[in-house]
Amino acid sequence: MSGIVSYGTYIPKYRLRLSSIAQMWGKDSDEIEAGLRMVEKAVSGFDEDAVTMGIEAGKKAIELAEIKSGELESVYFGSESHPYAVKPSSTSVAQYLGVGNNYFAADLEFACKAATAGMQVSSALLNSKVIKYGLVIGSDAAQGKPHDALEYTAASAACAYILGNNKNEIIAEILEMSSFSSDTPDFWRRDGARYPSHFGRFTGEPAYFTHVMGAAKNLFAKSKLKPSDFDFCVFHMPNGKFPRVVGKKLGFTSEQLAPSLIVDKIGNPYSASSLMGLACVLDVAKPKQKIFFVSYGSGAGSDGFIFETTEKLLKRQKKIIPVLEQIEDKIYISYPEYLKHTHAI
**Burial class of 195 by CB neighbour count within 10 A (0 to 12, 13 to 18, 19+):** middle
Report which secondary-structure segment, H or E, holds 243: helix 242-250
Helices (H), 28-167: 29-36, 50-65, 89-97, 114-127
In the set 48, 56, 73, 80, the catalytic residue is: 80
Task: Examine the residue annotation and report whether 236 is marked as an active-site residue of this protein.
Answer: yes
**259, 243 in Cβ contact below 8 A?**
no
CB atoms within 10 A of CB 235: 31
Treating both helix axes as pointing N-terminal to C-terminal, what angle do 209-223 and 242-250 enclose, rounded to 10 degrees?
40
**Catalytic residue selected from 236, 280, 308, 341:** 236
DSSP readout, 265-306?
A: HH-B-GGGHHHHHHHHHHHH--TT-EEEEE--BTEEEEEEEE
Distance of CA 261 to the CA centre of its chain: 12
153 with 243: CB under 8 angstroms?
no
In the set 112, 159, 233, 280, the catalytic residue is: 112
Contact indicator for 10, 158 with CB cutoff of 8 Å: yes
Cβ pair 108, 144 in contact under 8 A:
no
DSSP string for 125-140: HHHTTS-SEEEEEEEE
* Sheet containing 172-184: order of strands: 104-108, 74-78, 133-141, 156-164, 3-10, 172-184, 299-309, 290-294, 232-235
Say if CB 117 and CB 78 are below 8 A apart.
yes
Measured distance CA(70)–CA(222) in Å, rounded: 36
Classify 161 as helix, strand or coil: strand
Q: Could you tell me which residues come within 8 angstroms of residue 31 by beta carbon, excluding any fewer than 6 positions away? A: none
- Which residues form the catalytic set? 80, 112, 236
